[in-house]
A and B are shown apart, each in its own frame.
Chain A
Amino acid sequence: MSSATETLKHDAHDDHHHGPAKGIKRWLLTTNHKDIGTLYLWFSFIMFLTGGAMAMVIRAELFQPGLQIVDPQFFNQMTTVHGLIMVFGAVMPAFTGLANWLIPMMIGAPDMALPRMNNWSFWILPFAFLILLSSLFVEGGGPAFGWTFYAPLSTTYSGDSTALFVFSVHIMGISSIMGAINVIVTIWNMRAPGMTWMKMPMFVWTWLITAFLLIAVMPVLAGVVTMVLTDKYFGTSFFNAAGGGDPVMFQHIFWFFGHPEVYIMILPAFGIISHIIPTFARKPLFGYASMVYATASIALLSFIVWAHHMFTTGMPVAAEMFFMFATMLISVPTGVKVFNWVATMWRGAMTFEIPMLFAIAFVILFTIGGLSGLMLAITPVDFQYHDTYFVVAHFHYVLVTGAVFSIMAAAYYWLPKWTGVMFDITLAKWHFWASLISVNVLFFPMHFVGLAGMPRRIPDYALQFADFNKWISIGGFAFGLSQLIFLALLIKACRKQGEPVSDQVWDGAEGLEWEIPSPAPYHTFDTPPVVK
């Protein structure tokens, strides 16, 4: 034991003196949490642009009523693959990238606990998405059954590419499970002396809870795609009524994964916002302990609300009532969080730097998404709203102006620490205001067409929806273009073009990551700091 410890110490000591390796090998073989964080973040951004390009196809087709640009089968592939890429390729890897960069720096650890597994969990991801994207080119086209791959669409009525779809989802699942295990072990075992549970930064807390959600539900996703695979290719009848199965059961198993999954995509965002608002309000976070408990209760409740996605499947009234009230209950801890953010800003000495602008936009716009969620949770009205653009409006408010805005806020907030230079503030302002305006032109009118009955996932629509859809598409194109400003800004920042920044970067910033030099050295906290 003691000799093993010795060699370990020695190894760590050794690579301390080497900087990063040179060239492509640095990135392929790296076990450094900062390198891996950077890889995840760039990967996620590329996926964001890829999925975004598909959204542009969707909005181009929907610009006018009638079928004009793509055929309906291809339109369905676009909605499906757009959803899969944004969920599994853009939002989730971005949060994993942030976790890699930030968690060791925030808890005073030298690296993630399992660095070699870390390398694997990143490098299998590009293959998963290569497989998914290549499925678009096989005979018969890619998956066209929606990101929710309901049976029998994905079993009886799907094309030959389904095997590729299943395989790629398996790889994505394995990657995020490995990432989650790494996060848990790191937080559990590697906190600096004195960093007790209730001193952990909110981002670390929210990620810890997210990681538990991940290891609880990603295996269920793996199970349900496996059942789809065997139903389609090996003659089982999990979801096939003719063989004694039940297609509605698919939805139960899928949403048992699916609802916690939406919280996987928002809890780390809550953490990020809980760092940014105190910094620029120059006040400690209001109600830290209640934030921790609220996050934990949201995570627990997320396991008992799944059937709010299935109100129209003909459940008994008692079940409808149960899932309606359980869902509404989640808005209580969510409300606690919004209240705490607002209370943190209350009477603070606020300034409006770019990360703060994104954070405030997050608080307001995410709340709009939460409120439409609350409307959807009312069973009788969901019969009208279900499968309409109202649902599309709801989840884009929580996911784009929620999760994605929080990721952008995080990028702006920690980017100077990563690169050592201040990003181009003029470009950043353009990016913020262009995104803010266009995203609302894009998603707000979806509420109206949804309430008026426009169904989702259909390439054509009735004439009365034409005006709103024109505006929605214009908003969509503008939002897409605005992200190119962000791309330009990121390239500039990574080339270190900008004013050097201080270690603390932002006046009000607190936490271990602001005590190390900017840019953050390749190795940090080789000797753990002491947290008072």
Chain B
Amino acid sequence: MQPKQSQNPNSRLVVKLVGVVFGMFAFGFALVPLYDVFCDITGINGKTNETAVTYSAPEVDTSRMITVQFITKTTAGMPWKFEARTETVKVHPGELNTVEFYVRNPAIRDIVGQAIPSVSPGTAALYLNKTECFCFNNQPLPSGQEAVMPMQFYVDPQLPEDINFFTVQYTLYDITGTSADVTTESAE
């Protein structure tokens, strides 16, 4: 408490406080992986599996009928035409289904697209199992070409009782030439 003799306690305290500052700076960045892990476990941000799962052939629950709606969207600057061939399907939990999406690149340049799915309500995301999806990879499409992209999925029979309807939205981004564009390598 003697101010003029406190130079040493001062610098010790400063070092500790600066440590807290750096610790909190690191914590800010640590929130990024923590957030992903947390959302992965709880499925609350509507993100679905990013690599294929194998169909475990669970018992099909014919007593329930779930409506799955597919909607599509392109972001600003993405010229592709992108639509769901099937807008809604009614499925039994446990059964394997295939739906198709259509894309056409009307631009005069070749474009690499990336579709990002998002499920609403978010809690349904954990129960949507995709065994095959165009969203697992980049989609390069030369100028003027079109393509039909399949997506195969089943709904986990554990899907909570109160969910009978959910929406899967695909948002298509133009990622040509960005760091996310890995068309040269295999994305699998």
A residues sitting closer than 8 Å to B (CB atoms) are 1, 4-5, 8-9, 12, 109-110, 113-114, 177, 181, 184-185, 188-193, 215-224, 227, 235-238, 241-244, 246, 248-249, 252-253, 256, 314-316, 319, 528
Contact = CB atoms under 8 A, between A and B. Distances in A.
9 contacts: A181-B14, A184-B17, A217-B24, A223-B27, A235-B178, A242-B175, A246-B45, A252-B31, A319-B44
A181 B11 CA distance: 11
A233 to B, nearest CB: 12
B13 A243 contact: no
B46 interface: yes
Interface of B: 1-10, 13-14, 17-18, 20-25, 27-29, 31-32, 35-36, 39, 42, 44-47, 50, 75, 114, 116, 118, 120-123, 171, 173, 175, 178-180
Contacts of B4: 5, 8-9, 12, 110
A192 B28 CA distance: 37
A177 B75 CA distance: 39
B3 A528 contact: yes
A250 B2 CA distance: 46
Contacts of A253: 28, 31-32
B1 A219 contact: no
A189 B122 contact: no
B179 A190 contact: no
B62 to A, nearest CB: 29
B3 A189 contact: yes
Nearest to B180: A243
A193 B20 CA distance: 28
Contact of A114 (B10, B24, B44): B10
Contacts of B17: 181, 184-185, 215
A113 B14 CA distance: 10
A8 B116 CA distance: 64
Contact of A316 (B2, B6, B44, B180): B44
A192 B1 contact: yes
A114 to B, nearest CB: 7
Contacts of A315: 44
Contacts of B31: 220, 249, 252-253, 256
A8 B7 contact: yes
Contacts of B122: 314, 316
Nearest to A216: B24
A243 B1 contact: no
Nearest to A315: B44
A316 B123 contact: yes
